[in-house]
């Protein structure tokens, strides 16, 4: 239950941070390890579960076991990431940290062509530098097929004049406006939390007038998340839209991992078929050298070690076409991602049939491990949680 916000407050005072710090402050370490998390360091540090050294898991059978990559509970350790509490609850997690300097220099590199964008990502991931400058972290934003930016971050000790996007200025807009920038390490880690990427605009938080009145301490993703919860409960905006004769909308909140060579294809297809803008990009490579060339290192989310993927994130709603069923757009995205050899995170809506789900998320192994650690089926299964919304 330790949030990354609390964790980073403690570690950063020692000049250290977790290898991957998910962008939203209130994600917990347990949530990121049992689900999935990703950030701009993932091209060199993989995913949060890859820095776990050991963990205590309170299993469905009622035991507390200490799991490592090797030994008696290795199968639990390996199967745990992307199990979302279906095998047990992590009650203590020991992770590796890395030393960091106090500042981050940023370079926003514009790329006007999606094929060139994918190629540039591939080169940066392989070389860990761009035009002679070291790259410590990289992510990107696609505003449209001919306007994408890669934000290259270089961690630095040098005293620099830093910007502040925790008040009136909005970080994602600065990407289009400036070529270089600098942030404190803490502000870099939470640069996306203040406006929940760009999603705060739906609540009016980016309108200069309202923003001046909006208390700074409430410019946070968990505040917007609560506002979404209220809307889901009372459907105030939904009813106003319906009265105005607007079509109902489908929720499209997903993060998908597409192999880098299929990324341009996916982005083109997505822009034409779904049309949400902007989208977030984050390259990643599994870190685990033991798994090189295999897909089995983390069987519940079997990315291939040694291969570069790009996480594509899009969060919002789209108007439903006449005659469409709710879920159609999400189902089309699932099919496209599978066609390109990618994977989809399960934190949001999923529509897979049981057979496809088991094939994509290591169903046979998961059932075997669940039988061992939760023989009575006390904990809701992964399919029932992710697809059945139980
Ligand atoms: C709206 C939204 C935005 C997101 N944005 C990002 C993002 O920007 N970056 C990113 O990296 N990820 C993002 N994610 C994904 C997120 O990292 C995962 O969903 C993660 O699992 C959430 O962790 P949490 O601590 O909030 O857990 P919760 O949402 O509280 O729980 C998520 C699931 O994990 C299980 N769980 C929680 N703690 C434990 C534990 N200790 N042991 C076992 N199971 C546990 C819960 O049972 C539940 O099924 C987002 C998710 C959502 C819903």
Q: Where are the beta strands (DSSP E) in the chain?
A: 16-18, 52-59, 64-67, 88-95, 97-99, 103-111, 129-130, 133-134, 137-144, 147-156, 180-184, 249-259, 279-284, 309-319, 343-344
Pocket test for ligand 1, best of 2, 33, 34, 60 (most atoms within 8 A of CB): 34
Partners of 103 in the β-ladder: 156, 184
Residue 199 above 60 pLDDT?
yes
At residue 296, the pLDDT reads 62
Residue 7 above 70 pLDDT?
yes
Q: Which atom of ligand 1 is nearest to the CA of 345?
A: 15
What DSSP state is assigned to residue 229?
H
- Averaged pLDDT for residues 314-331: 94
- Phi-psi domain of 362 (left: phi exceeds 0; alpha: psi -120 through 50; beta: other): left
Q: Which atom of ligand 1 is nearest to the CA of 37?
A: 11
Q: Which atom of ligand 1 is nearest to the CA of 38?
A: 11
pLDDT tens-digit profile of 23-72?
Answer: 999 999 999 999 999 999 999 999 999 999 999 999 999 999 999 999 99
What DSSP state is assigned to residue 380?
P
Partners of 17 in the β-ladder: 98
At residue 50, the pLDDT reads 95
Q: How do beta strands 133-134 and 64-67 pair?
A: unpaired
Distance CA 34, CA 61 (A): 18
- Averaged pLDDT for residues 277-286: 97
At residue 293, the pLDDT reads 46
Q: How far is CA 55 from its chain centroid?
A: 22
- Averaged pLDDT for residues 357-374: 98
**Residue with CA closest to ligand 1 atom 40:** 30
Position 235 confidence tier, pLDDT thresholds 50, 70, 90: confident
C-beta of residue 37 within 8 angstroms of C-beta of residue 29: no
At residue 290, the pLDDT reads 59
pLDDT tens-digit profile of 70-102?
Answer: 999 999 999 999 999 999 999 999 999 999 999
42 Cβ closer than 6 Å to some ligand 1 atom: no
58 Cβ closer than 6 Å to some ligand 1 atom: no
Ligand 1 centroid–CA 114 distance in Å is 30
pLDDT tens-digit profile of 135-163?
Answer: 999 999 999 999 999 999 999 998 789 99
- Averaged pLDDT for residues 161-170: 95
What is the chain's mean pLDDT, rounded? 94
Residue 291 above 70 pLDDT?
no
Pocket test for ligand 1, best of 347, 389, 390 (most atoms within 8 A of CB): 347
At residue 236, the pLDDT reads 77
Residue 308 above 60 pLDDT?
yes
Position 243 confidence tier, pLDDT thresholds 50, 70, 90: confident
């Amino acid at each position: 239950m330790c949030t990354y916000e609390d964790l980073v407050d403690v570690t950063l005072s020692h000049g250290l941070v977790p290898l991957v710090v998910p962008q939203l402050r209130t994600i917990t370490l347990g949530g990121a390890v049992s689900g999935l998390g990703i950030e701009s360091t993932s091209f060199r540090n993989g995913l949060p579960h890859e820095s776990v050294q050991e963990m205590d898991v309170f299993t469905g059978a009622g035991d507390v076991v200490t799991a490592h990559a090797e030994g008696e509970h290795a199968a639990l350790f390996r199967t745990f990431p992307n199990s979302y509490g279906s095998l047990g609850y992590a009650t203590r997690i020991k992770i590796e940290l890395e030393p960091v300097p106090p500042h981050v220099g940023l370079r926003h590199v514009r790329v006007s062509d999606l094929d060139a964008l994918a190629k540039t990502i591939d080169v940066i991931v392989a070389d860990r530098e761009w035009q002679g400058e070291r790259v410590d972290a990289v992510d990107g934003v696609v505003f449209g097929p001919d306007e994408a930016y890669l934000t290259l971050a270089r961690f630095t000790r040098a005293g620099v004049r830093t910007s502040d996007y925790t008040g009136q200025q909005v970080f994602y807009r600065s990407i289009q406006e400036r070529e270089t920038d600098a942030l404190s390490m803490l502000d870099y880690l939470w640069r996306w939390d203040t406006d929940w990427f760009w999603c705060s605009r739906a609540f009016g938080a980016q309108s200069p007038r309202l923003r001046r009145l909006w208390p700074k301490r409430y410019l946070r993703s968990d505040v917007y998340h609560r506002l979404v919860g209220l809307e889901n409960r009372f459907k105030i905006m939904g009813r106003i839209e319906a009265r105005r004769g607007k079509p109902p909308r489908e929720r499209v909140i997903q993060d998908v991992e597409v192999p880098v060579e299929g990324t341009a294809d996916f982005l083109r297809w997505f822009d034409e078929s779904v049309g949400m803008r902007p989208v977030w990009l984050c390259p990643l490579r599994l870190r685990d050298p033991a798994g090189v060339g295999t897909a089995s290192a983390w069987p519940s989310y079997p990315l291939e070690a040694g291969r570069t993927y790009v996480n594509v994130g899009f969060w919002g709603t789209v108007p439903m076409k006449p005659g469409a069923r709710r879920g159609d757009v999400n189902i089309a995205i699932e099919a496209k991602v599978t066609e390109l050899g990618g994977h989809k995170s399960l934190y949001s809506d999923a529509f897979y049939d049981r057979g496809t789900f088991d094939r994509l998320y290591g169903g046979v192994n998961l059932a075997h491990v669940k039988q061992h650690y939760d023989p009575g089926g006390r904990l809701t299964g992964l399919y029932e949680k992710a697809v059945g919304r139980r």
